[in-house]
Structure formats: C-alpha cells, structure tokens
Structure 1
Amino acid sequence: MARPRTPIGTFGDISFINATGGQFRARTRFRDNDGKVRRVSATGLTKREAERNLKKVLAERSSFRSMGELTPNSSFTNLVDVWLADLDLEGRLAESTRALYERNMRQLVMPVFEGYALREITVSKVDRFLKVLAANKSYSMAKQARTVLSLAFALAVRYDAIPKNPVRETSRLRKPPSQTMALSAAQVEAIRLAVRTWRRGPGLSGPPPDGQLEQIIEVMLGTSARIGEVLAIRKCDVDVTSSPATVRISGTIVSPAGKPTRRQPHPKTVKSTRTVSVPSFTAEVLRARLVKIADEGPDHLIFFTRNKTPLTTNNVRRRLRAVMDQAGIEGVTPHSFRRTVATVIDRAGGADLAAELLGHSSSKITKEHYIQPDEAVDPVTAEILESLAPQRHDDVT
C-alpha cells in the first residue's frame, strides 16, 4: 500500500552539519508547490540561528505558495489578492469593470471581512452585512457588494477552500420601488436653451464654451448612445451621404486609473456594437463636426479637447451638471437622454425596437430601467363601455 504524501508546504525533520567558516547548516526536505520534494538549507553561526534562518526560507516559500492556493484557513485578504490576480489572468473584463470590481471590494466589503479566515465567513455573516449595507447606504451599493463577494467566493469554491458559496444562500435583496422618468419635449427644449445660453453674453470673463456640449446632447438624443459611446464616435463611423444619415457605435471612452483617457475599440457589450440611422437634427450636428475635422484622418474623434485628445465622460458630466444647476433644472444626467429616447421609441414602435436601438440583448432590461411606464389606458375603452350606458325611456316624465 502506497504511503500518503505529505501536504504541499510541509517539511520534515531538520538536521545539522558543519559548514565552512565555523558555521552550521540546517537542512530539511520540503514539499514544494509543484508537488516535488526538495532539500532546502540555511546557515548560521549557531545551530539555533541556522534553524531560525531555515524556517525563514521555508516561510517565504510557503508565502509564495499561498498566493496561488487557498485553504479554509486562508484570510479573506488572501482570497481577494488571488481573485484579482485571476481576473487579470483571464483578461475578459474591460479595464473600467475590473477597476470597479476592485474598488467595490476594497471600499465596501474588505473593511468588514478582512479580519476573517475563509472558514469563519458564514451565510449569516454575509446575509447580515448585505442587509445592513442596503439599509444604511443603498440598494445599489449592496447589490454591487454582493456581486464581487459572490465572484470571489466562487473562486474559493473552485480552489476547494470552502464547500459552497455563502453568498448564494443569502436572502434576495429587495429593490425599493422606483419609476423610470423620461424627459418631456418641453424639458428637452429647456435643457437645450440652458446649454445654448450658458456663459454667453456681454460682461463674462474667460473664453466662451466651444459648443460641443449642446452638440453632444443632440447626438445622444438622436442615437440613444451612452455618453462614452458618443465621445468615441470617429470620423469613419459617420455616413452623412445616406438618407437618413447613419452612425456606427463601435467603441467607448475609458479613463483607467493612472492611465490616459483613450478610446476602447468596443462598447459596453457585444450587442452594443450597432449602426443606427439618425434624425435630421443629429445629422446636422454631425455634418458640422465633419467640416471641422475635414483635414483629419478617418480615425479622428468627432468630439475632442482643445489638444485633440479624447474628452472624458466625467468632464462632460460636470459641465452638464454646472449648466443645469445654474438653470435650476434638477435630476438631469447624460443617462436621462438615453431613457428619453427609449420611452419615445417605445410609445411609437414598442419595447423591442427600443431595445434594438439601445443595444440591449432583450427588451426586459429596456422595460425595467429605461422606459417610463405609460399610465394612460387606451381610449378605445371609453367606446367599448358605451354599451353600458343607461337606456333612454321616452315615456318617463
């Protein structure tokens, strides 16, 4: 019967021999990360020092092993490090999503769980954490924390560190009731006026706005594109020779931490890559932008800074917020225009057409998050109910 192997990371008895220079050498056999047993040694002026130095070497080798392996006694911090390294190894996430996952993990989750070993993190601990976060912060924060926790613990299950994912056994987070709100035609006109007149007029110091914000709004209204997708439109993506004009949505602007803002060659999802026909008011803006970059190459961005670098989504949001604050208009973000487009298309052509325009894989997402519910009941019901009208009796005086 074959003898069972010692676990990876363990070592045998320590022996000592005399080394050169009057030193002692401590030796042992160590089962390494690849499953092979190797002889490891260290020296010291005394046997105790040699043994101490040997154990330091073994600890370093075990530490290196623990970065790639997990056990029930591994710390939650260790799991997070291995999980993030695994995300990078897979390379499937967009940089912005990878950064968001790490930020949510470090800011929302780790302050609560960093002191625990994996075996100590129970369903009840996770369940309570998510409920407290939802109650004290927001449903959105709790949902984001749940996502990264579930992904990290799924990795721990795959590494045989825990038998099951504790997040999956927690109770479902209840989203508070809310209603998607689209902008009315009158509100859109008020926004246009506010942007068009912002910081323009006599007596104002500094250069006037370059006019790109109002043009960006017209493109968002005419394409349904996300703000990052609009800022990523290139000269080669626009065709104003067709009728109607078209725009290909094929990228987005990203600003990775510590790196320059750049154009990512694909939008948020695969389905989001699409070519849309645009209304005349959007085509007019695109023609004006094409004239401005007539001498540039096909990959030149339609919207850009004075230094011809990509505009950041945060800067556009800040500018829009400043304009709205001055005009006294509340609750308007770049996503407001996307919801408005979805609602207008839904009323005229249905939710499926709205989902296709927005680049959604199904109309379920569009209905739930982008289309303002229509409270009006079909007026045909009034005609149908006429059958219940009281009968006229001429003989009644």
Structure 2
Amino acid sequence: MTRLRDWDGRLRRVTATGTTRARAEAALREKLVERDRIGDTGECVTADTEFSDLGALWLEEIAIDSRLADATKDLYATQLRTLLLPAWGNLTVREITTARLERFLKLQAGVSYSKAKHARVLLNLILKFAMRHGAIRHNPLAGTSPLHKPPAAPKALTLDELARIRTAAREWRTGESRPGPKPDGQLRDIIEVMLGSSARIGEALALRRCDLDMTANPPTVHIRGTVVVRKGAGVARQAWPKTHASDRIVAIPQFAAEVLRRRLALIADRDPEHLLFFTKRGTPITPYNARRTFRQVLEEAGLDGRGIKPHSFRKTVATLLSEEATDEVAAEMLGHAGTAVTREHYIERKQRANPETARILDGLAPPRDTEPPS
C-alpha cells in the first residue's frame, strides 16, 4: 500500500497484492504506472492509444469546431489519411518519440518541403490534442529541427505573359474542328476580374450581383465569400472568404468594370444574389474546373511549365501596387492583415535599384575645381 498524488492533485491510497512481498511491490509499481496514464481517470486517450485511433478522435473534436471551415476539416482528414497514417498508424502514442518524428520529417522534406510542412502542422495539432487528454506530458514535436523552406522568390507575370494569356483565353476552343465544349468566355472574364480586384479564384467565382456597386466612382466590388467543395455536399458558395481580413471592398479599374457590366447584363432579370459566373445549370463553377481550363489556356499560350497559376494574378497585382504605391496598399488590396505575408509571398522584388539613387548620390561628388590625381 502507498499514497499517490493523483492527476487532480489529491492524495489517494493505492493498494496491490501478491503471493510474496516482492511480487506485491512489483504489482504496486505496475499499478502506479498505469494510474499515471490518464486512462484510469476515464479518459479515452492514453499513452497506449494507437495513433490511428488518436487521429480519429481528434477529427471528431474538430468536427464540432465552428471556427474551422468545412473545407479545412476535409483537408485535415485527407492529409491525416495520406501523409500520417501510412507512417504512424500502427504505433501507440508513447512510441511517437522526438527521434522518430525527426527522422520522419527529414524524409518528408527530402521529397517535398510542402508535404513536410503540412505533416508537421497536422502532427502538432494531434499531439497537442493528446496532451490535453493527458496521454503525454510534453509534445515530442517541440524537440525536432525546424524545417527550412527552399528559397523561392515571388514571381509576377510580365506584360508579355499577360498578353499571351489574354489572347489564349479569348481564342480558347474557337477553332471550327476543335472537339469538346464550346467556350462561353467566362474564363476570359474571370481572369480580368481577378486582375482588377486581386480576388482569389474562389472569391472571384463567388461574386454576386449584390456584391457590385457600379454607380460608385470608381466602381467597387465587395469580396465577402468564396466557392468551396464540401465532402458529401458538392460545390457551394461559402458566405465568408478565407480570412476575416479577406472581407473587403475594393475599387476596380475600368477594364475590370467593363467585364462586370457585361456579366451583369446577362443576369439583369435574375435575383440580386445570383452569381456572376455559373455553369449551364446555374450552379457555382468549381475552382478545380476553372484551374483545369486555365492550364489548358496556358498550354495554348506556350506558357505551361513556368509555374504560372491563377494565384499568379494576385502576385502581379501586389508587385505593381508595391512599385507604384506602397507595400501597405498592396497588403490592403489583397486582404492581408499585415504586410509580412504580402512581402514574403506576393511581391516580386526587382534586382535593379531605383534610378533616383543616382541623383541622390550626386551629393557625394567632389568639388568641381578639384583636380583628379595624376
């Protein structure tokens, strides 16, 4: 018999029996170890819980978290299944050590930095869940080495690339003998709206009649939703964008306003909440389908293989606004809470310094009557 300061801070008596003193002491020690695992307090997660079960319990917890978007929950479930369970599914919580995590993350980073980063984020969330349930005292992930992202500077589109994309989008599938669906011009218009508003592709696809104010000078667009694909529910318009800061009203240039007026004319008799871009059945266009068509347009423009994506339009907008105005203006336009993300991931920095520096540095010139050394 002994007294144990239990998980709730209270002293409790613990007893065990055995045929001999040594066996009784051994049984008592084993019982104390078992009580130290939170399982004896009625919790469902212990140090002996398999990682696959831990992940399933964690998914159940986030399923009722109203702060997470359904698309994020679906993404976490997919990443758990594809990134983590193949490596950790048969191990228990106590077997997830810092050394094993270090080796796993280095192997992942050797294949793909992006996969390693996603795996680390997900492991951290799940292991913190295990800590909250008392299955582990410390997060073993905290002792692993930080991941180092390969250097990759943001790349904005050039005027030549923009011209080629616009031409290819305008002429996509216009040949008389081309198989496949006939173009309706929506991708061409989506490109102009993204360039004129800095909207993400899902945000552009979620724009409705009521989100536009064409009477303002200049016209404005209220970006306050995005199109998502939910597991088991299909494609739908989500009533909020990616982040709180992404909910914004932006003024648009004339070239984008002309496109929006043309789209409005097509749905002039429709409900104010009718989408500007939609399928033949009137449903939202999925971002996946829009990206697939965009890849085909890039191929026709001879720009495939250059890493150009719909997100490149946001980088182009950010770079131009940074050069002509400020980084703060660029961040505000893109819907970022601060400039850090905008500078690191969106603004392409030019290697050539501002020519104005030459005029300023003339202030260091020697007096005109000074003879150069012979």
Q: Shared fold (TM-score greater than 0.5)? A: yes
Runs of 4+ residues over 6 Å off in structure 1 = 389-397
Instruction: Write the distance in 2 (CA, Å) between the matches of 1:364 and 1:131.
Output: 27
The answer to whether residue 303 in structure 2 is matched with residue 322 in structure 1 is no
Instruction: Write the distance in 2 (CA, Å) between the matches of 1:134 and 1:308.
Output: 43
The match for 1:211 is: 185
Structure 1 residues 283 and 384 mapped into 2: Cα distance closer, same or farther (>3 Å)?
A: closer
Query: 271-280 or 382-391, which moves further after superposition?
Result: 382-391
Amino acid at match of 1:238: L
Instruction: Write the distance in 2 (CA, Å) between the matches of 1:279 and 1:384.
Output: 34
Structure 1 residues 393 and 84 mapped into 2: Cα distance closer, same or farther (>3 Å)?
A: closer
**Which entry has the higher C-alpha Rg, 1 or 2?**
1
Q: Deviations over 1:321-371 (max 9, x none)?
A: 011112211322110101101111111111111111111111000000011
Pairing 1:298-313 to 2, within 5 Å after superposition: 298-313=272-287
Pairing 1:189-200 to 2, within 5 Å after superposition: 189-200=163-174
The answer to whether residue 153 in structure 2 is matched with residue 183 in structure 1 is no
Structure 1 residues 230 and 6 mapped into 2: Cα distance closer, same or farther (>3 Å)?
A: farther
Instruction: Write the distance in 1 (CA, Å) between the matches of 2:325 and 2:210.
Output: 29
Pairing 1:109-188 to 2, within 5 Å after superposition: 109-135=84-110, 137-188=111-162
The answer to whether residue 318 in structure 2 is matched with residue 342 in structure 1 is yes
Instruction: Write the distance in 2 (CA, Å) between the matches of 1:173 and 1:133.
Output: 10
Pairing 1:245-394 to 2, within 5 Å after superposition: 245-330=219-304, 331-386=307-362, 387-388=364-365
The match for 2:66 is: 91
The match for 2:30 is: none
Amino acid at match of 1:120: E
Amino acid at match of 1:248: H
Question: Structure 1: which 5+ runs fail to align?
Answer: 8-61
Instruction: Write the distance in 2 (CA, Å) between the matches of 1:169 and 1:205.
Output: 56
1:243 partner SS: coil
Instruction: Write the distance in 2 (CA, Å) between the matches of 1:121 and 1:263.
Output: 40
Instruction: Write the distance in 2 (CA, Å) between the matches of 1:301 and 1:269.
Output: 21
Structure 1 residues 3 and 288 mapped into 2: Cα distance closer, same or farther (>3 Å)?
A: closer
Of 214, 220, 242, the residue aligned with 1:240 is: 214
TM-score (norm 1): 0.80
Q: CA deviation at 1:89?
A: 2.4
Query: 323-332 or 212-221, which moves further after superposition?
Result: 323-332
Q: CA deviation at 1:396?
A: 10
The match for 1:76 is: 51
Instruction: Write the distance in 1 (CA, Å) between the matches of 2:340 and 2:134.
Output: 36
* RMSD between superposed Cα atoms in Å: 2.5
Q: CA deviation at 1:199?
A: 1.4
